[in-house]
């Protein structure tokens, strides 16, 4: 497996293999933030196919609750292994370690990430990797249905932090 920063040509491949249904979390939006220097969009490749993605948001989590409690803490956002049979094979762990290494290279001493209340499997992984609860928040995002109609979503989450 190779983990690389997203390139312009990868966006179309990602949309085909892992279609995004989020306005702000679309592959194009994530790549645009990377080009603007606000984030690094990491893509793990296995046998020539993208199998996951995660965006390191150097500007931190967008949720006001998190920004108040952990100002300036970068966030690993949108970690997603696909297809599902590839989960629990170390891909997510490798991606988190890559994000932590990149943060360390920037002199950053803490990294955060959010986990939904309904995702105990991910919460267990993050706990094993040393992430600890810091603040509860509502993850607000816009979902696009197949017709392109926007639907506002709000999911209860916990922002977890690890000292690097």
Q: Tell me phi and psi for residue 151, to 5 degrees.
A: -130, 125
Give me the residue spans of the domains in the chain: 2-163
Torsion angle of the four alpha carbons 75, 40, 123, 62, in this order, in degrees rounded to the nearest 10: 40
Query: For residue 158, what is the enclosing H or E element?
Result: strand 150-163
Distance CA 114, CA 63 (A): 10
pTM, rounded to two decimals = 0.92
Q: Is 93 exposed, middle or buried (0-12, 13-18, 19+ CB in 10 A)?
A: middle
- Give the CATH fold of the 2-163 domain: Aminopeptidase (3.40.630)
Q: What string of pLDDT tens digits covers the 164 residues of the chain?
A: 999 999 999 999 999 998 877 767 789 999 999 999 999 999 999 999 999 899 999 999 999 999 999 999 999 999 988 777 888 889 999 999 999 999 999 999 999 999 999 999 999 999 999 999 999 999 998 887 888 788 888 999 999 999 99
Using CA atoms in the order 123, 107, 64, 128, what is the torsion angle rounded to 10 degrees? 10
What is the per-residue pLDDT across 91-135, written as a single tens digit (0 to 9) for each? Answer: 999 999 999 999 999 999 999 999 999 999 999 999 999 999 999
41 bridge partner residues: 55
**Residue 70, token pair as written in the block:** 């952990």
Q: How many CB atoms lie within 10 A of CB 18?
A: 18
């Amino acid at each position: 497996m190779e983990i690389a920063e997203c390139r312009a040509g990868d966006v179309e491949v990602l949309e085909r293999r892992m279609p995004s249904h989020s306005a702000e979390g679309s592959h194009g939006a994530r790549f645009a933030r990377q080009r603007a220097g606000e984030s690094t969009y990491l893509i793990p490749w296995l046998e020539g196919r993208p199998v996951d993605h995660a965006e390191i948001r150097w500007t931190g989590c967008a949720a006001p609750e998190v920004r108040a409690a952990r100002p300036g803490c970068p966030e690993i956002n949108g970690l997603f292994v696909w297809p599902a049979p590839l989960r629990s094979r170390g891909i997510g762990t490798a991606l988190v370690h890559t994000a932590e290494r990149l943060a360390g290279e920037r002199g950053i001493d803490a990294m955060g990430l959010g986990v939904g209340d309904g995702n105990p499997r991910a919460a267990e992984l993050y706990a094993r990797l040393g992430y600890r609860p810091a603040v509860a928040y509502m993850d607000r995002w816009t979902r696009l249905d197949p017709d392109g109609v926007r639907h506002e979503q709000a999911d209860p989450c916990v922002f977890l932090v690890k000292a690097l």
